[in-house]
Structure 1
Amino acid sequence: MKRFTNKTALITGGTSGMGLATAARLLDEGAHVVITGRDQARLDSAAAHLGAGPDRLLAVRADVAAPADLDGLVRRTAAWRDGLDVVFANAGVAVFQPTHEVTETDFDHVVDVNFKGVFFTVQKVLPLLRERGSIVINASWTLHRGLAAASVYAASKAAVHSLTRTLGADLAPRGIRVNSVSPGYIDTPMYRDVMPDPAVEALVAADIPLRSLGSPQDVAAAVAFLASGDAAYITGQDLVIDGGLVGSVPVARGDAPAFG
């Protein structure tokens, strides 16, 4: 399918993981894509990996926590394609610590990127966003279910989930839809940095009814759906992509019921 032919999409945090997979998916479906990242070397590597020419892909170094960088991103995007149809506010950081160990620096870093960065990304690009455009925000399963050592991270994701609903109301007169995705355990470089121990991964998988981690492509498919005309009557919603982690209790191994 080419659901995004002649459309332009912005993906923040597009250098790896879910952002990179979504860029690949939208390019494959015909979009012109802008990706951002804080590190120029990683941004260059991502652009090379995607393999699209300069007429289809624009890579812009930008830190979403820095409003001046976002202003530069808007200028370069406007000069390249004049407007936007899709925004995937994906850039985020993860700090997992017991609550008593969280410092003010940790708190500010997470909130600056995960909440402030999302808010001002959307605010700054609104003049470029065309009527009947779509915004998708990357939230997290942790806003639906408590996870130890994730107090600040989960709170920042709950904040953008709330923002999804309010923006959905704010922007509805322009026909702009706003939704979020809440990924579960997804096998990304960020996940590997936080959970490098295979023994821990086995315990994580055991808590998931589908018994495996998700892939970045699983999230990319959900983002593409929400951003497309297939979701034309969906706004202010959160789509959980977690293999059943939040809503279901896994059957113990060997105890699966027999049918037939």
Structure 2
Amino acid sequence: MQVAIITGAGGGIGFATAQKLYDMGIAIVGVGRDREKLKKLEAALGNDTERVATVSVDIAAEDGPQTIVKLAVERFGRIDYLINNAGIGSPKPLHETDDETLDRFLGIMLRAPFRLARDVIPHMKPGSAIINVTSTFAVVGGRRGGAYSASKGGLQSLTLHIACEYGAQGIRANCVAPGVTATDMVRERMNDPGFVRMNVDMTPYPRLGEAEDIASTIAFLCSKGGEYINGQTIVVDGGWSSTKYLSPEAMAAK
């Protein structure tokens, strides 16, 4: 039985990914800070104690990665997949970002994935994979990106290193870069005309991304079909980052 560690598993993309991988027969180690959200994940997966373990931990804490890896090895005896998904939003531009905010973003979205991958790799065998959830802000320039862009861009570069350094051992590393995805946080911003203009009106597909879209891509990279994909960034954004699309409504706006 294969085993996947998923950070940020209490909601959104992480929750959907846990469900998708569980349905593929993979055992899940769900990681999050909110114990109540993790209980909802356990319930969604049928309270299957033989194939599901969760741990409430701050991944940025000094003992965070060790706690996660220890649980996975003690419960299941192996680690096949690491999905570094946990993240935070609402960044500010460079000139508005203080050191505390910078350290917080880098700590959660770059330092923690770095340390967790470092602790996981010794337990991985050929056929294993690390999937880092980055962002379109790691692919193109984005306003207000600041520390978020720096973190996600660094994570993309780390992925390339892992793919090169450990690919010969049969350990792959790839990025999945979501565009704006319809999570609770994003839905709250749909009343902001500027947000809608920037994201909805510039996406040449008639809906926003869903957590299921990202989870399906991650699941593919954990499947036999994704076995020869290494060192890549798969952007899941409906064409937002690769086109110059503007909706007819936006084109006609004054």
TM-score range, shorter chain: over 0.9
Quote the residue 1:28 is aligned against. Answer: 23
Quote the residue 1:215 is aligned against. Answer: 210
What are the Cα deviations for residues 177-228 of structure 1, in whole angstroms up to 9, with x where unaligned?
A: 10000000101134346x2525455322111111321000000010011121
> Aligned partners of 1:8 and 1:205: how far apart in 2?
36
Residue among 171, 179, 182 paired with 2:174: 179
Name the count of aligned residue pairs: 250
> Aligned partners of 2:51 and 2:193: how far apart in 1?
42
TM-score normalised per structure 2 = 0.92
1:170 paired with 2:165, answer: yes
> Aligned partners of 2:192 and 2:145: how far apart in 1?
20
- Percent of residue pairs bearing the same amino acid type: 30
Q: Which moved more, 1:128-137 or 1:245-254?
A: 245-254
Contact 2:82 2:129 in 1 (8 A): yes
Contact 1:14 1:37 in 2 (8 A): yes
What does residue range 1-260 of structure 1 map to in structure 2 within 5 Å? 6-192=1-187, 195=189, 197=191, 199-200=193-194, 202-203=196-197, 204-250=199-245, 252-253=247-248
**One-letter amino acid matched to 1:117:** A
4+ runs deviating over 4 angstroms = none
Q: Report the 3-state secondary structure (helix = DSSP H, G, I; strand = E; otherwise coil) of the residue aligned with 1:246.
A: coil
Contact 1:131 1:176 in 2 (8 A): yes
Q: Report the 3-state secondary structure (helix = DSSP H, G, I; strand = E; otherwise coil) of the residue aligned with 1:36.
A: strand
Q: Report the 3-state secondary structure (helix = DSSP H, G, I; strand = E; otherwise coil) of the residue aligned with 1:247.
A: coil
**One-letter amino acid matched to 1:177:** R
- 1:51 is displaced (CA, Å) by 2.5
What are the Cα deviations for residues 17-56 of structure 1, in whole angstroms up to 9, with x where unaligned?
A: 1000000001111111110001222222222233341011
What are the Cα deviations for residues 149-168 of structure 1, in whole angstroms up to 9, with x where unaligned?
A: 11110111010100111000
Quote the residue 1:3 is aligned against. Answer: none
Unaligned 5+ segments in structure 2 are none
Q: Which moved more, 1:95-104 or 1:137-146?
A: 95-104
- 1:73 is displaced (CA, Å) by 1.4
TM-score normalised per structure 1 = 0.90
Unaligned 5+ segments in structure 1 are 1-5, 256-260
> Aligned partners of 1:128 and 1:248: how far apart in 2?
41
